[in-house]
Structure 1
Amino acid sequence: MDKVYVLDTNVLLQDPNAIYSFDTNEIVIPAVVLEEVDSKKRYMDEIGRNARQVSRMIDGFRERGKLHESIPLENGGTLRIELNHRSFQYLQDKFVEKTNDNRILAVALNLFLEEGKMKSGRTVILVSKDALVRVKADAMGIQAEDFLSDRVVEFNQIYTGYEERYVDGELLKSFFEHHFIDQKQLKGRPLYPNQYVILKDPLQSSSSGIGKVDMNGKRIEKTAMETEYMWGIGPRNVQQRMALDLLVRKDIPLVTLVGKAGTGKTLLAMAAGLMQTEDLNQYKKLFIARPIVPVGKDIGFLPGEKEEKLRPWMQPIFDNLEYLFNVKKTGELEKILSGIGSIQVEALTYIRGRSLPDQFIIIDEAQNLTKHEVKTILTRVGEGSKIVLLGDPQQIDHPYLDEYTNGLTYVVEKFKEQPLSGHVKLEKGERSLLARIAADLL
């Protein structure tokens, strides 16, 4: 053991199994971390669930020995609950307030100074998801790291769902004539099932074609949209064309769409859902839901019945419905929805335990879901249903998630090799010129 890892509370609340991610080194959990975990275990959300799991896990370790000494782990490392090294003597001149973060820093600093006095002293590393805690540690001369083991993808390598490939003019001509080519005829790494390919002739910049890898991953077939417009909505760019192709395919029950604000994710999905539910009767119901995660300060409790409480959270969905139904008057949308009966707008809070067969399911703002929550949602999907996950991984409102650890990115990366799923990253904003510039500049 040549390293000592001091874990912050947020690491355990993000991933209760984080203690097994540090090989054969020593894991130190400050006593104040247990207090913070204890304060969260009554929460009825993902944080509370993880806090309870951490509590049970540490309680189970008591059978192996005394927690304040050293407990062997299955991976060869050890775990210790640190009850000493809490002195503020070396920290109080720098950070006066005895906050929980500073208490964790004090433990790391005292261990760092103690190991430094030994001839074979080990490296002490503070692991935290809190950027300011890492900054403070660095200012004190302590090595600090972010917890990266929960990331499903490395920086800037999130799967986009399509690629551009330059091909010989004769091959492109064959593609247009026969409507497919063999993937082996393309240079470069193999493509995933249902991945789109923009084929270009390097000698003729205006000559290009759009194809999609078949479910077996062997052929690249020419995409042919059965309908260009649905409920007055049509594709404005090549990525939206790819998205609509996925949204109307009955043989692809899982679709993920990511993109910045204004790229048309929600509007396209709802238009496709309405067409297949109301016009074609392919599904019995259009089910639309989104997680209740506030942007900025929470507005607290809301008055009224359940529908009245949910209305502010679901308003972005109703805005899109008003646009699709061409609503002009206040209250007109409610009359339309009550008359149709096959459109359900709900909060994800109530989805656990349900089964959703023969439905077109849209989950908006899926980037605010954890891995466990998105698993819960996908396991609710019944026979004959299609589910669409939408979101922007760069707009995370959840305190313990980021672009590379959220549930939406998790699904995109885990399902990219599966023939029953399809994914597209929408690049260009189409809401308005102002919205597009704001998304790019801000």
Structure 2
Amino acid sequence: MTTGTLTEAILEFPDNRLLIDLCGEFDRNLTDIETRTGVQILRRGNQLAIHGPEEAQAAAREVLGALYQRLEQGRSVGRADIDREFRLAPEPEEEASGGQLEMFEGGKVEIKTRKKLIEPRTDAQKAYVRSLYQHEMCFGIGPAGTGKTYLAVAVGVNMLITGAVDKIILCRPAVEAGERLGFLPGTQEEKVDPYMQPLYDALNDFLPGKQLAKMREEKTVEIAPLAFMRGRTLSNAFVVLDEAQNATTMQMKMFLTRLGEGSRMVITGDRTQVDLPRGVPSGLQDAERLLSAIDKIGFNYFTGKDVVRHPLVAAIIEAYEQDVSG
């Protein structure tokens, strides 16, 4: 049926129970898709009728088809999954190279951990995950909320449980974010724990609590300030340096030269959130300048468009970027 430039497309779904999950509670998922595309979606039995311009209609059909296929595979569908389907542009199939890259067959990128399956939600995130598997040293640079650290830790957990590495080491500079907190009470570990909390949060998302506690006790998983890396050679380990913009040039050089046989290093940071004292150059910026020409090191960049936190976060980042550029 055609009305001017508007058309109606009918999608039929064989399993009515999955269709209920596809629509979401009170048709919330359909409402999200309507808002993103400008179409109107009506449910008729085991069919969905999509009204709107052909281009918008095609986008809605593609997203609905991908989400239904996800349900057929026994996975859930939520707002984050809808957001991911809209963000990720279709890609041609790419050849997988090596055991760890089998996950990329057919253009899909999935990271299996003990607690959940992680799927990148933007093209930049997808390219970043590929780079994490392809390079022994990889940089993730961009604003907060783009998944730089979260995805790196997920890949580290995946490599640990598949036997690609023997341990995970997560570290970050113990630098106060623009505040002077004074002396903190407690043991050495209790003093640095507040700085390490984002890394604990990520690990707790991927590993059961008891298993994580055992791994920490056995030193299979280590979380430590950057200063504790001095003098070590890190072999057969997946090592993440978070908040790297707060490492000095000497600290960055010290960290990068810890790389040992069978190890992977990931350095994540945001050049706009340097908390070092005035006049102290950021080691992240120096590393980017000095190492970007080395082919075997992967550099991945994110923008406000890759923010996967609350939509307001992306708007806030964009406002600050415009103010700086203006």
Give the TM-score normalised by structure 2: 0.61
Cα distance change on mapping 1:307 and 1:419 into 2, 3 Å: same
Query: How do residues 82-93 of structure 1 correspond to structure 2 at under 5 angstroms?
Result: none
SS at 1:383 equivalent? coil
Name the residue aligned to 2:151.
268
Distance 1:308-1:418 versus aligned 2 partners, 3 A rule: same
**In 2: Cα distance, 1:244 partner to 1:333 partner:** 25
SS of residue paired to 2:145: coil
Q: 1:413 deviation in Å?
A: 2.7
Higher relative contact order (CA 8 A, sep 6+): 2
Structure with the largest fraction of helix: 2
2:254 to 376, 379, 397: 376
Matches within 5 A, 1:30-429: 227-231=109-113, 232-249=117-134, 252-277=135-160, 279-325=161-207, 335=213, 337-338=215-216, 341-400=219-278, 405-427=281-303, 428-429=306-307
Which ranges of 4 or more aligned residues in structure 1 deviate by more than 3 Å? 206-212, 223-227, 332-341
2:310 corresponds to which residue? Answer: 432
Q: Using the alignment, how far apart are the partners of 2:214 and 2:314 within structure 1?
A: 31
Name the SS for the 2:118 alignment partner: coil
- Structure 1 residues 262-271 or 293-302, which shifts more? 293-302
CA distance change for structure 1 residues 226 and 284 in 2, over 3 Å: closer, same or farther?
A: farther
Structure 1 residue 321 displacement after superposition: 1.7
CA offset digits 1:234-266 (Å, max 9, x no partner): 1101100100001122xx211000110100001
Q: Name the SS for the 2:112 alignment partner.
A: coil
Aligned counterparts of 1:326 and 1:369: Cα–Cα separation in 2: 31
CA distance in 2, matches of 1:418, 1:338: 34
Q: Which whole-Å CA distance do the structure 2 matches of 1:257 and 1:274 have between them?
A: 17
Give me the whole-angstrom Cα distance separating, in 1, the residues matched to 2:192 and 2:90: 49
The CA deviation at 1:324 is 2.5
Q: Which letter does structure 2 place at the counterpart of 1:304?
A: G
Per-residue deviation, residues 191-223 of structure 1 (Å, max 9, x unmatched) = xxxxxxxxxxxxxxx8875989x9xxxxxxxx8
Quote how far apart the aligned CAs of 1:367 are. Answer: 0.6
Mapped partners of 1:240, 1:389: distance in 2: 15
On the 8 A contact 2:216/2:222 being kept in 1, the answer is no
RMSD: 2.7
Deviation at 1:397, TM superposition (A): 0.4
1:96-128 CA distance string (max 9 Å, x none): xxxxxxxxxxxxxxxxxxxxxxxxxxxxxxxxx
* Deviation sequence 1:335-369 (CA, Å, 0-9, x none): 35446641100001211111111111000000111
**Conservation of the 8 A alpha-carbon contact between 2:157 and 2:206:** no
Q: Which runs of 5+ in 2 are unaligned?
A: 1-88, 98-103, 321-326
Q: Which amino acid in structure 2 is aligned with residue 260 of structure 1?
A: P
Aligned pair count?
A: 219
Aligned to 2:71: none
* DSSP 3-state at the match of 1:274: helix
Contact residue 111 and residue 158 of structure 2 kept, 8 A:
no
Q: Deviations over 1:53-94 (max 9, x none)?
A: xxxxxxxxxxxxxxxxxxxxxxxxxxxxxxxxxxxxxxxxxx
1:374/1:356 CA distance change after superposition, 3 Å: same
In terms of Rg, which structure is larger? 1
Q: 1:322 touches 1:333 (CA, 8 Å); kept in 2?
A: no
Q: Do the aligned residues in 1 keep the contact of 2:241 with 2:268 (CA within 8 Å)? A: yes
Q: What is the TM-score normalised by the length of structure 1?
A: 0.46
What secondary structure sits across from 1:414 in the alignment? helix
Unaligned runs of 5+ in 1: 1-205, 215-222
- Please state whether the residue corresponding to 1:260 is helix, strand or coil: coil
Contact 1:288 1:361 in 2 (8 A): yes
